[in-house]
Structure 1
Amino acid sequence: MVQQVKTEQVGRVLIARLDNPPYALMTTQMVAELDAIVDRADSDDGIGVVVITGARPDRFLAHFDVRELLQAAQGAPALSESQAHAALRVASRASSLPGARVLLAHSPARGVLDLQLMHKVLLKIGRSGAIFIAAINGETAGGGLELSLACDLRYLTEGGELAQPEVLLGFPPGGGGTQRLTRLIGRAAALEIMLTARVVPADEALRIGLVTGLFPADRFLDEVLKVANSLATRFKPAVGVIKRAALEGASQPLEAGLLLEQAGLLAMLGEKGAQQSMKTYVDYIDEHGAMPSDDPEVRKQLLGGTFAPFYPH
């Protein structure tokens, strides 16, 4: 089996290249490999940022492999929405039992397991202490856009294009597109993009907040890596708290979201890394009689995350 996600580590940045020629299709195998990469990023203090990009110069990912979806559809009984809800709940409970995933993988529930794996991976990205950046080189649609939406930052090449076109084949986005796209850019804009299935050009994607920034194609990855390197020294426990509070707390009632934020703050104040950084900051004020941000060089260190290293060098 040929690996579909190739990795390369540069300093504290892990570059993950999506490589499934000739069409750059997303597959269940690719999702499983991404799952392993998220676990690696979470367990390795030497990784602060994961940059996901396409191996093809002109394409991040085409979309999820429709052939896989068709095979899953043909191998499973037709279900109503309420029956599908029940099947998902049953599969979720059953798959947690020892050996059950192996049995389910050889049953009509295989498609349900594959869908749940993709959702699990994208949720893990949103909860990870590593920062995930989607470096969307050229174009992406469907599952490729949904993977990008699960990342913390999204950069697109100038002239690039995005789309959520599933409706053209008679089904809705299934990798979180209806939820993450709506929460990112608002219901009206998200519905228009999903229902028309039109291509969103780079300039519009930036204007509506679908992407974080645009870079020229000839220096695209270099520019993304500059951003990644500047973020790679952030304290991973704090990053995880911020991400969970923003992504999950913001969709809850205000008091519940604030409680999640407060719990995260209290937990981080007990971390030795945070205490070390705070002490260095206070010591600087006491020694110099000035705020660290008043000194241009120290301010640069602060923004670069190197004022008080959280990790051993």
Structure 2
Amino acid sequence: MASVVSLEWPSDGVALVTMTNPAINNHGSWAGIHELWQTLVAAREAGARVVVLASGVPGHWFEHAWLRDLSNMFQRKELSGPSDGWFGCLTELSKTDMVSIAAISGDTSGGGCEIGWACDLRVAEEQVLFSQPEVRIGVGTGIGGTSRLVRLIGRTVAAEMVLDGAPVTARRIHELGGVNKLVPTGKAVEVSLAWAMRLASHPADALAGMKRMLAQSEEHPLTEAIMNDQKIFQSFSGKPDAIARMEEVQAKFDAGATIRDTYWPDEIGEGKP
């Protein structure tokens, strides 16, 4: 089967992974999702600190499982590719040495949505619809979609999505906290790459350490999570690079710079938060 996933390097430490399978509107064939998993692995192993997941099919980001493969799997018939790609993608997206951004430029559903929910950050265009239509097919969310969705947007709207299978607008998902940035049509990849480049410019140990804190904080009661945060903090905050940066920033403060001048010179101003 022809390749449907590409890997590009727009900037140092930033990988752009694009799935383009117009023949099935970017539904997740087993072959395509396996290739997506292997491309994510290749990006991380080649030094990507941030990966942007994009679609090359207009109107569609990543859609739900290709039903030919899903049906064949349960009937033990021939599949388009190995069946390990779905959980492989989730495992790779959970790795703490690479941050992921979903650049959602078109409608996304089912397993495609579930890959998006598993990303660290989500940028969605304003025309996008999100849906978990599995109940209308007679199946379930198979790779954590319900559990992640409840944590991201709350039980009320998560219940609406998984029990009725109805679509929800990107604006509503954004208002509920499931999308980080809502952008105009055609801007998801551009905005995601700009954000990725900024993230990749942060110290690698700190970026990975903070992702590790985020991930592990959900696994512990608060008191244990705080202690675990301190353990992770100690693991990288005293390294020579961190000390050098502390000294550099303190010198700016000593010279009269403010927090705004030092950390966000280009991010706060007219029309910005």
Change in Cα spacing, 1:254 to 1:299, as seen in structure 2 (3 Å) is closer
Change in Cα spacing, 1:40 to 1:260, as seen in structure 2 (3 Å) is farther
Answer whether contact 1:281 1:292 (CA < 8 A) is retained.
no
- Note the 1:269-280 alignment, pairs <5 A: 269-280=237-248
Answer whether contact 1:48 1:233 (CA < 8 A) is retained.
no
Which of 17, 32, 35 is 1:33 aligned to? 35
Name the TM-score, length of structure 1 as normaliser.
0.76
Which deviates more, 232-241 or 62-71? 232-241
Please list every run of at least 4 consecutive aligned residues from structure 1 whose deviation after the TM superposition is greater than 6 angstroms: none
Following TM superposition, by how much is the alpha carbon of 1:27 offset from its aligned partner in structure 2, in angstroms? 2.4
Helix, strand or coil at the partner of 2:27: coil
- Residue 128 of structure 2 is matched in structure 1 by 160
Following TM superposition, by how much is the alpha carbon of 1:269 offset from its aligned partner in structure 2, in angstroms? 2.0
Answer whether contact 2:59 2:106 (CA < 8 A) is retained.
yes
Change in Cα spacing, 1:285 to 1:201, as seen in structure 2 (3 Å) is closer
- Residue 253 of structure 1 is matched in structure 2 by 221
Alignment partners' CA distance in 1, 2:89 and 2:108: 19
Alignment partners' CA distance in 1, 2:266 and 2:223: 31
- Residue 83 of structure 2 is matched in structure 1 by 114
- Residue 50 of structure 1 is matched in structure 2 by 51
Answer whether contact 2:8 2:15 (CA < 8 A) is retained.
yes
Which of 161, 170, 182 is 1:193 aligned to? 161
Following TM superposition, by how much is the alpha carbon of 1:253 offset from its aligned partner in structure 2, in angstroms? 1.2
1:220-264 Cα deviation digits (max 9, x unpaired)? 322332222222212233222222322332242112222321111
Alignment partners' CA distance in 2, 1:275 and 1:42: 27
Alignment partners' CA distance in 1, 2:171 and 2:73: 37
Change in Cα spacing, 1:130 to 1:285, as seen in structure 2 (3 Å) is same
- Note the 1:1-313 alignment, pairs <5 A: 1-12=1-12, 13-22=14-23, 23-45=25-47, 47-75=48-76, 114=83, 117-286=85-254, 288=255, 290-291=256-257, 293=259, 296=261, 298-300=262-264
Helix, strand or coil at the partner of 1:205: helix
Answer whether contact 2:206 2:237 (CA < 8 A) is retained.
no
Amino acid paired to 1:261: D
RMSD: 2.6
Identity of aligned residues (%): 28
Answer whether contact 2:53 2:103 (CA < 8 A) is retained.
yes
Alignment partners' CA distance in 2, 1:168 and 1:186: 22
Count of residues in correspondence between the two structures: 265
Helix, strand or coil at the partner of 2:218: helix
Rg bigger for which structure?
Answer: 1
Change in Cα spacing, 1:114 to 1:199, as seen in structure 2 (3 Å) is same
Following TM superposition, by how much is the alpha carbon of 1:137 offset from its aligned partner in structure 2, in angstroms? 0.8
Q: Larger % of helix: which? A: 1
1:260-280 Cα deviation digits (max 9, x unpaired)? 211110101243332332232
Structure 2 residue ranges without an equivalent (≥5): 268-273
Which deviates more, 17-26 or 30-39? 30-39
Change in Cα spacing, 1:40 to 1:238, as seen in structure 2 (3 Å) is farther
Helix, strand or coil at the partner of 2:187: helix
